[in-house]
Structure 1
Amino acid sequence: MVRFALVIPTLNAGQDLDALLESLQRQTRQPDRFLVIDSSSEDETVPRLRAAGADIEVISRAEFNHGGTRMKGARMAAEDCEVVLFLTQDVILHTDDALERLLKVFSDPAVGSAYGRQIPHEGAAAIERFSRFFSYGGKSARFTRADIPRIGFRTAFCSNAFSAFRLAALTEVGGFPERTIFGEDALAVAELILAGHTHCYVADAVVRHSHSYTLGQEFRRYFDIGVMHAQNRKLIEDFGSPSGAGKNFVLGELRYLAGVAPWRVPEAILRTVLKYTAYKLGRREEKISLSWKKRLSMHKRYWPAG
């Protein structure tokens, strides 16, 4: 049985902690180390997690970076663990054996990374529900370099909300990028796959996790995705364009909404136009001024001061 560290980055997580900690306490497999990297929360996050048994490292908000912060957690975990498992603060572990099921795949030494299934939070609206159903199906899968010609960009799909990495393999490929606006999980998985490791989707390891983004938030999120792809062109070169998956998502979403919430079809079309426009702008971020990039971006602290 592999030793694993649970790492959760936090910022003012108070409203999420009751559900998260309750679901964590029920787990059949408890972490060998429980690590929290907190970005100077101003609520009860730190004392509550410390009382729950977490070792906490507090950083300034300016220090937080999607890749660098998770790499800090991986280095802390590597002191005495074989696997690092990441959760986000807004996740609820859906079953009592969710962690155990995700970790089980690491009994195969070929496996370098894995992620679990996400289902929507109770009360999530139709648009949010479809997003989870489309991205996280009910069938587990294993992905290797040989799958890239057939599956393309989706081969390296992952989510930092509920994922795990074998630390030796992660170290072998250089770890998470120290500075990235978004998508550090997919970037690391891509390197693991190219290095010959297996990436697993574990459909029976389930968490509740979904977001109800406003139109503005959706725009900013897709601008940042475009920036990430523009700044990591090798990902597109090695795995292909994500455009095919995007078309399938749009068509599937419209069919789904037509059946369960037809009044939201116009909104879905508007969201699609906004996401496409934002993504294309992000892909051209080099031609956009710093002040405008900050206005368009969800992760404003990523950009340098000025």
Structure 2
Amino acid sequence: MQLIQTILIIPTYNAGELGRTCFKHILAQSVKPSVVVIDSGSTDDTVIWAKRSGFDVYSIDKQTFNHGGTRNQAVKFAGKSAEILIFMTQDAILADTNAIEKLLKPFEDKDVAAVCGRQLPHSNATPLAAHARLFNYPAKSSVKSQQDIAELGIKCAFMSNSFAAYRRSVFEELGGFPDNTILAEDMYLTAKMILAGYKVAYCAEACVYHSHNYTLTQEFKRYFDTGVFQSQNYWLRQKFGRLNGEGTRFVLSECKYLWNNKRLWLFRAVGMTFAKYFGFKLGFYYQYFPMSLNKKLSMHKTYWTKLNDK
């Protein structure tokens, strides 16, 4: 494969041992990207370890962090040399030494503007977290375009910046990520790419270990924020439609998985499903609630602080 100039960007905050492991696996890659760490005021040794790893480190105030704006800021810090922008999170561990090389492979198609890698559950993942990764990140690669919207709905724009790459020319053409979004900056930009006529790829061969063992409260708050995002970006539903039964398929798949593996977790799964549903519904109608309540219900509280300051 022709050598592609790449920059890898990682937002960090108190990354801890998992972050150090993330850094080590990046250094062991067959393809060596330049690495930019944008740190939101870590109080542990994250910055020290990043610098020891030879990464460029930029520090910002914790209260200024935003999923889209902070990543855009990191792209500006990174300069103009890279053809491909790779994004990871501090808790994603590259699964093998060729993961980044594999992630770049789909860009051989000049119409591909973004690539998402496969996420595997961490070794300590709960059955619910493990199933979520198996359901959302299948073992088969795919390429999506406008032609797939009718069949896939909003799933056509699925992307995750825990391990994803973007063609820089298209990234800049479309204005990058939204500067102020509560989450899902990756889906926002991917949707714009598809609507602009580009393709997006899912590369099942490029893997990271990444999962979250959310509590019932955390799951509620995460889906509250998802509802806020969907409400604020209603154009996504207008252009892509809804999930076309994806939620039902997920629940049925989860029940089957738990029945075959961890039956006692079925009771917890029921609670999680209701938490997600009500969290999303409340988030979708967030504008009818006072700012103070929205902040309490949200996982990303600094978003509301910044919103209130405007």
TM-score normalised per structure 2: 0.96
Distance 1:15 1:298 in 2: 23
Paired residue for 1:26, among 18, 25, 28? 28
Counterparts of residues 81-96 of structure 1 (less than 5 Å)? 81-96=82-97
SS in 2 for 1:303: helix
Aligned to 1:193: 194
Query: How many equivalent residue pairs?
Result: 305
Q: List per-residue Cα deviations over 1:7-30 (Å, max 9, x = no partner).
A: 000001122233212211221111
Q: List per-residue Cα deviations over 1:79-101 (Å, max 9, x = no partner).
A: 11111100100011001100000
Aligned to 1:152: 153
Identity of aligned residues (%): 41
Aligned to 2:15: 13
SS in 1 for 2:139: coil
Distance 1:138 1:77 in 2: 33
For the Cα contact (< 8 Å) 2:66–2:303, is it kept in 1? yes
For the Cα contact (< 8 Å) 1:218–1:275, is it kept in 2? yes
Aligned to 1:287: 288
Counterparts of residues 29-40 of structure 1 (less than 5 Å)? 29-31=31-33, 33-40=34-41
Distance 2:300 2:244 in 1: 23
Aligned to 1:297: 298
Report the residue type matching 1:219 in the other structure: F
SS in 1 for 2:7: strand
For the Cα contact (< 8 Å) 2:106–2:201, is it kept in 1? yes
Q: Which moved more, 1:12-21 or 1:111-120?
A: 12-21
Distance 2:274 2:216 in 1: 11
For the Cα contact (< 8 Å) 1:83–1:166, is it kept in 2? yes
4+ long deviations beyond 3 Å: none
For the Cα contact (< 8 Å) 1:121–1:210, is it kept in 2? yes
Aligned to 2:118: 117
Aligned to 1:168: 169
SS in 2 for 1:66: coil
Distance 1:46 1:56 in 2: 7
Aligned to 2:70: 69
Distance 1:165 1:192 in 2: 10
TM-score normalised per structure 1: 0.97
Cα distance, 1:106 vs. partner?
A: 1.3
Distance 2:21 2:68 in 1: 26
Distance 1:243 1:76 in 2: 40
Q: Which moved more, 1:8-17 or 1:86-95?
A: 8-17
